[in-house]
Structure 1
Amino acid sequence: MDLRLLPSFLAVVEEQHFGRAAARLFLSPPAVTQHIRRLESELGTPLLHRNPVRPTAAGLRLAEHARTLLAAADAAVEDVHEAVRREREATARPLRVGIMGHGSAEITPAAVNAYRRARPEVPVEVIQLNFTEHVSALVEDRVDLAFIRPMPDDDRLVGDVLLTEQRIVVVPGSAPLADARTEGVRVADLADLPIFRVPDHTPAIFKDYLYFHNEAARRGRSIALFPQEVLTGVLTGHGAGSGLRSFARYYNWPGAVFVPVLDAPPESSHLAARAHDPNPEVAIFRALATTLARELAPRINNMPLP
């Protein structure tokens, strides 16, 4: 039996009229009539009385089976589609987004959430990067994108400037520099400031950024890989920290004082990716992030230090 004929038969049984059944199915009355005749021919018995239109005894029995068969067919199709969807979700490679520190401030979560809304079928994995990984995580294919600073001079990578900010240092409230939290300091004032250390394998460009290109500043007693370790070292007297202005909002720990460095060149945070990455999801994420950055960056830069 051709199951495609059953909707026409059920429509006639329920409407008790060939014309209304045809309109309900968006078919012509002759097409519906032909479907009924084919069913009656296949089964070898009349299924409908024509005047008035009502099912025969055989038609009543077939209507019961037809509803069960069509419901089962619909359920089978839905079940197959669900299996395909689950298989795709299970095998889909997530978009891996690395974030060093707080990334590009408010732009970072805005970009991740915008991508999730735009591409709900693609899983997103957020990976925290330490200060040594803003090149290696991408080159070693551990992440697909990375919110980093500063942008390394590496032909293997490409980057988008998202946010350019004033530099700051973070010191304990008991430090002499803490008194300059309002008026700020100059790079020359940092000559005796023991900024925390990073491992030797940290990229040189990050070390230069961290220490304001000042070799004498590399004297902190503790090694830090994450911002939380910087703050712990600052508050326990093991060193001072440096960063971008938005660092103060994300890591405003009691006892930590954030002091602007007036004459340090502003520094940018970037969204970096592998050069010539063929993954279209990388391009989509970059486009969303740069669009959001144009909207949010002016507002972020006007936020006061806490």
Structure 2
Amino acid sequence: MDLRRLETLLAVAEEGNFGRAANRLFLSKAAVTEHVKQLERDFGVRLLDRAPVRLTPAGLRLAGHARSLLAAAENARADVADAASRERAGLRVGVMGHGSAELTPATLRAFRTAHPEFDLRLVPLDFTEHVSALLEHRVDIAFVRPAPDDERVEVDVLTTERRIVVVPARWDLADAPQVHLADVLDLPFIRLPERTPRPFTDYLYFTAARGGEAPRRAADDAVNPHEVLTAAAAGRGAGSALESFQRFYPWPGTRCVPVVDAPWEHSVLVSRAGDREPAVRAFRDVATGIARELGPGLRLTPT
């Protein structure tokens, strides 16, 4: 089916005149007439009454389908053009929470300066998108935590930080200068949705320290730092994070307390295994270079 003929049919119906439709479409009147006749031959039915010019019942049915087909064709053109544009010069960078502390904005600034030819776009990620956004091609590279153990991705470690717990300010634990794992394992932790990847839930709940057992669960769910802090401020439960978290999320009604004997964890940059796209490789080079340069001076301990 020729979409141009469908467009012609709609133009004639909307204008109510073959000549005006021809002017609108930049066609000759004879071409417009031939388009309509060819459609009528294709469908074996009269689609337009000529005097006055109006759609027949069959023509009305076809006009509805024609509008849908033309809209779908336009959406397809736009989608393909968008994909082609991304392939040429796009880089979608996923950022979970505050990413890799000060390294995240430093990397973004340096990459934009060094590679203005790439269109850089940031995509916020929640806890359920630990690697799924990357594997589903919704982002091209991402700042996440902790480091995934997944052969489908490549991992660049950017920071290694002490762990903290985030608790309501009115809890007794909030006044402690530091705590041990034994002090936090029985806390009611804010829940994560069932679809959250296991590596992230194990990280949040200190699962290894409790021998694989599930923690006490608070009543509220959370998929991002804002929701964790809102629930904690309301006294609804505890969360955990890397130590840089408290520099990026000062939140009334909450306290961040270091867990001195918890294993330190990484924040990382992840990309798809074997991805050799120039933008991805360039971004990894910039990020790892800045990590080496700023690592020793990065504020991983709050002042």
Residue 189 of structure 1 corresponds to 183
**Partner SS state of residue 283, structure 2:** helix
Equivalent residue runs for 1:145-164 within 5 Å = 145-164=141-160
Equivalent residue runs for 1:226-245 within 5 Å = 226-245=224-243
Contact persistence 1:132–1:203 (CA under 8 A): yes
**Partner SS state of residue 114, structure 1:** helix
AA aligned to 1:271 is: L
Equivalent residue runs for 1:1-306 within 5 Å = 92-180=88-176, 182=177, 184-213=178-207, 214=210, 215-304=213-302
Residue 13 of structure 2 corresponds to none
Following the alignment from structure 1 to structure 2, what is the Cα–Cα distance between the partners of residues 143 and 112? 15
Following the alignment from structure 1 to structure 2, what is the Cα–Cα distance between the partners of residues 255 and 199? 24
Following the alignment from structure 2 to structure 1, what is the Cα–Cα distance between the partners of residues 115 and 273? 22
RMSD (CA atoms): 1.7
For residues 39-92 of structure 1, give each alpha carbon's deviation from its aligned partner in whole angstroms, at most 9, with x where no partner exists.
xxxxxxxxxxxxxxxxxxxxxxxxxxxxxxxxxxxxxxxxxxxxxxxxx97984
Following the alignment from structure 2 to structure 1, what is the Cα–Cα distance between the partners of residues 85 and 199? 39
Name which of structure 1's ranges 218-227 and 121-130 shifts more when overlaid on structure 2. Answer: 218-227
Residues 1:248 and 1:144: Cα distance change in structure 2 (over 3 Å): same
Following the alignment from structure 1 to structure 2, what is the Cα–Cα distance between the partners of residues 92 and 121? 10
AA aligned to 1:115 is: F
Residues 1:274 and 1:129: Cα distance change in structure 2 (over 3 Å): same
Following the alignment from structure 1 to structure 2, what is the Cα–Cα distance between the partners of residues 280 and 219? 44
Contact persistence 1:211–1:218 (CA under 8 A): no
- Give TM-score, length-normalised by structure 2: 0.68
**Partner SS state of residue 138, structure 1:** helix
Following the alignment from structure 2 to structure 1, what is the Cα–Cα distance between the partners of residues 141 and 272? 8
How many residues are matched?
A: 216
**Partner SS state of residue 195, structure 1:** strand
For residue 218 of structure 1, report the CA deviation from its aligned partner: 4.2
AA aligned to 2:121 is: E
**Partner SS state of residue 221, structure 1:** strand
Contact persistence 2:185–2:206 (CA under 8 A): no
Contact persistence 1:196–1:221 (CA under 8 A): yes
- Give TM-score, length-normalised by structure 1: 0.68
**Partner SS state of residue 99, structure 2:** coil
| Structure 2 gap ranges (5+) | 1-83
- After TM superposition, the runs of 4+ consecutive aligned structure 1 residues lying more than 3 A away are 88-93
Percentage of pairs with the same residue = 55
Contact persistence 1:185–1:262 (CA under 8 A): yes
Following the alignment from structure 1 to structure 2, what is the Cα–Cα distance between the partners of residues 93 and 220? 45
For residue 172 of structure 1, report the CA deviation from its aligned partner: 1.5
Residue 9 of structure 1 corresponds to none
